[in-house]
Amino acid sequence: MSRLVLVQHFVKSVREANSLADVSLILSEATRQFDFDYFALIQRPSARRTIGSLQLSDYPSEWVDLLAATTYYVHDPVLLACEKSMTPFSWDAIPGMISMSKYQTAYMANARAVGLDGGYTIPIHAPGAASGLCSFVTTKGRQLPTESLPAAQYLACFAFEAARRLVGNDGSGTDGEATTSVTPRLTQRQLDCVVLAARGKSNWVAGQLLGVSPDTVHKYLESAKQRYGVSSRTELVVRALFDGQLSFNDVIADKFFQAGQKRARPGQQRD
């Protein structure tokens, strides 16, 4: 199966998940399909280096038990690095992002000892709400699958969105039952800009294609992000895809996707 087909299958499955356990199983399967060995997805309150009730992973049991029984996770440098970055990063890059204490260095060494050797973490920042992160990890002796890194961003954001909706926007829910919320609606012009941004077009190129200025494209994207309460273009694309305002055929055009034909959206409001 191509990466496109795998991602589309993942999105369909995770959209239909009825519990956090379902989300975890679906994400675990996708983790292996994209040549990683483990994943961890957590939601974080605003307090630094703390974690909330949403914690999904298939890490080795001895590591999960240690973290569950103690507050050892406060020494996790990945949490601090996420505060410093809006974009995904490999664990090898962390020493260049933060000043590692001896406890953080020891934490990563202990993680490697249980098989969590190389990692790729996607920070997920949601203004006004708890943020989160998703890490994909390889065992000792295995390099990160470079060709799977673009897909990892989509897997992380879709899984986080599915889990977030199951526990509630603030991450405080614990029963795993689905909650409902009003879906923000984007105007046609906002959707046009989101599609081009998802295809990797700069504001300048998007403006040329749409016959508007780069500043106008920027304003449309920022207003769309505000409607969804997200801070990055990737999260905006994921939310619009998740809610069905866009399809993969609308937006797919990057390193592992083939460009699709844009479909018409009759009756959609235009600014």
Q: Which domains does the chain have, with CATH numbers?
A: 3-167 (3.30.450.80), 188-251 (1.10.10.10)
pLDDT in tens, 100-145: 999 999 999 999 999 999 999 999 876 555 678 999 999 988 999 9
In terms of Cα–Cα distance, which of 54, 9, 55 is closest to 29? 9
Question: Is there a contact between 193 and 245 (Cβ–Cβ < 8 Å)?
Answer: no
Q: How confident is the model at residue 172 (pLDDT cuts 50, 70, 90)?
A: very low
In terms of Cα–Cα distance, which of 76, 136, 71 is closest to 105? 76
Burial of 207 (0-12, 13-18, 19+ CB in 10 A): buried
| DSSP H or E run through 122 | strand 118-124
pLDDT at 268: 42
| DSSP H or E run through 55 | strand 55-57
pLDDT at 180: 45
pLDDT in tens, 192-240: 998 888 888 899 999 999 999 999 999 999 999 988 888 788 888 888 8
